[in-house]
Amino acid sequence: MKGLSTHVSRSLVPGSVLACADNSGAKTLMIVNKIGKAGRKGRLAASGVGDIVIASVKTGTPQYKKKVVRVVIIRQKQPMRRINGMRVRFEDNAGMLVTETNLAVGTEVKGAMAREVVERYIKLAGIASRVV
């Protein structure tokens, strides 16, 4: 996985609720675990923008409701510091559904997507409406 040029504050832990920003059919997601986690025993695996997590669909269409899916986080409320000193924060925590090969499930993204996600997953930039 490609490293990021930004210091991302990892503020989303298991149990955090995300809005689904794509048109796949899911509405709200709850983080269950982080993929590729490493850390101290007993500590919650925190994740931030650009991380892939396992999430449970809480509300949405019957096709996705109560299903466990892979989600890449595209926005977070916690500010993150870019290399030029600017701090970026969004108004909500949001993610989008991806497949096992990190391709998007939906065909368009509602709202902005962080530039850090595009750096790491170039294929997801094609469906983004805005990259901030």
Q: What is the pLDDT of residues 64-74, one digit of tens each?
A: 999 999 999 99
Whether the CB-CB separation of 47 and 72 falls below 8 Å is answered with no
Give the sign of the dihedral formed by CA 15, CA 7, CA 97, CA 128. positive
What fold, for 17-131?
Ribosomal Protein L14 (2.40.150)
Identify the CA nearest to 80 among candidates 37, 51, 43, 39.
51
Give the model's pLDDT for residue 38. 79
Please report, for the chain, the start and end positions of each structural domain, with discontinuous segments joined by +: 17-131
Q: What is the pTM of this model?
A: 0.90
